[in-house]
Amino acid sequence: MTDLKLIVLDSMQEMGEKVNAHLKKMCKTKEDFIVPVVVSKFNNGEGKVKISESIRNKDVYILSDVGNHSITYKMYDYINHKSPDDHYQDIKRVIYAVRDHSKCNSIIMPLLYASRQHRRAGRESLDCAASLQELVGLKVKNIVTFDLHDADIQNAIPNSSFENFYPTKEIIESFLNNEDIDFQNIFVIAPDTGAIGRANLYANLFKCNMGFFRKERDTSVLVDGKNPIIDHQYVGPKFKGKNVIIVDDMIASGDSISDVSKVARELGANKIYLTATFALFTKGIEEIQKAYDDKQFDKIYTTNLTYQNPEYAKLPWLEVVDCSCKIAKVICHLNQGKSLSPLLNESAEITEMITKKITEKAE
């Protein structure tokens, strides 16, 4: 792995350091893989990236979190926050700076840019597909992401390497270690039809039943870029007295997941756990904190695959699961040309973990 180099953008510094540490252990070396890079802005808001070390003939992995809204810069006479668009432009700037000097360029973008714009309705833009095609056009060999909002978006670049991983193992392992409940009394719920696939996986792993909620939306109105939800209607078996896991890929504002957990409580759920790879909390946590105070749910399990306000990690109802080791393993496998299958399908390992935990509690 002497040819491996990491370019860690400012949006993913903390995660990048963890990934670097894991890679050093895996390679049994004290040498860092991170290449120094300077990300700067002119006073008018234009950006610039400078690579401070040679990457000639290196296998380069660019790490970026397009969801990190904590990065600020001065623009004219006010302070601006970097948006997903800004982060995406920085990724392209790195590629421009690297040019054809590197042997291979790969992008690690856990929260895929514009992933909720995965299909067009009417005269809407199709940003996700367009950005993927643009990156491929810039000779990016591998694009790595996590828990796609809709996996069909990979059809936009059918001839390119596009890998979508899931943090299911990491989340369930944390759940098993932290919760003192009857794991044989589990019920899984999808908060909408789009999450049925994820919920079904959890149900298969825990060998339990599942149900889902159908969202009724007001299609005549747009609020924050989407049609507001009027009602959540539950479909499926009864789960009164069960410990419920509500599985989704993303918590945006939190309004929808709060409504679902409220209905689940009214329908007789015992413990209620929410799991989401990306907890964005785009409107802050006030409403979600209120839902917790009203005992509408017990805990949220999420990951550090996108930025989390450090203050949120102190909350008793939020468990942030570290996925840096998985990213390091993905990079290691790609660099060494090893099969990614063991990292893409971890069902056997998860089942073993669950079985072991149930056995321990029975004893």
What is the three-state SS of 293-354? Answer: HCCCCCEEEEECCCCCCCCHHHCCCEEEECCHHHHHHHHHHHHHCCCCHHHHCCHHHHHHHH
Q: Is 354 among the domain residues? A: no
pLDDT at 229: 62
**Whether residues 143 and 184 fall in one domain:** no
Nearest to 258 by CA among 208, 293, 224, 209: 293
pLDDT at 255: 85
Q: Is 47 among the domain residues? A: yes
Q: Is 357 among the domain residues? A: no
**Whether residues 97 and 219 fall in one domain:** no
**Whether residues 276 and 329 fall in one domain:** no
| Tokens 């719920």 belong to residue | 189
**Whether residues 83 and 108 fall in one domain:** yes
pLDDT at 223: 62
Does residue 63 contact residue 19 with C-beta atoms inside 8 Å?
A: yes
Q: Is 345 among the domain residues? A: no
Q: Domain holding 26: CATH number? A: 3.40.50.2020
Number of domains in the chain: 2
**Whether residues 108 and 241 fall in one domain:** no
pTM above 0.85, yes or no: yes
**Whether residues 190 and 158 fall in one domain:** no
**Whether residues 178 and 224 fall in one domain:** yes
Cβ-based neighbours of 105, under 8 Å, separated by 6 or more:
60, 62, 95, 98, 138, 139, 140, 141
Q: Is 356 among the domain residues? A: no
For residue 108, the enclosing domain spans 4-164+324-338
pLDDT at 133: 96
CA distance 23 to 17: 10
Q: 164 — phi, psi (to 5°)?
A: -115, 115
Q: Is 344 among the domain residues? A: no
**Whether residues 158 and 216 fall in one domain:** no
Nearest to 86 by CA among 136, 46, 37, 125: 46
By residue count, the chain amounts to 363
Does residue 333 contact residue 340 with C-beta atoms inside 8 Å?
A: yes
**Whether residues 188 and 309 fall in one domain:** yes
Q: What is the pLDDT along the chain (363 residues), one digit of tens a residue?
A: 679 999 999 999 999 999 999 999 999 999 999 999 999 999 999 999 999 999 999 999 999 999 999 999 999 999 999 999 999 999 999 999 998 899 999 999 999 999 988 778 788 889 999 999 999 999 999 999 999 989 999 999 999 999 999 999 999 999 999 999 999 999 999 999 889 999 999 999 999 999 999 877 655 566 666 555 667 789 999 999 999 999 999 999 888 888 899 999 999 999 999 999 999 999 999 999 999 999 999 999 999 999 999 999 899 999 999 999 999 999 999 999 999 999 999 999 999 999 999 999 887
CA distance 10 to 70: 10
Q: Is 363 among the domain residues? A: no
**Whether residues 15 and 69 fall in one domain:** yes
**Whether residues 251 and 142 fall in one domain:** no
Categorise residue 28: left if φ over 0, alpha if ψ from -120 to 50, beta otherwise.
Answer: left
Q: Is 218 among the domain residues? A: yes
**Whether residues 150 and 184 fall in one domain:** no
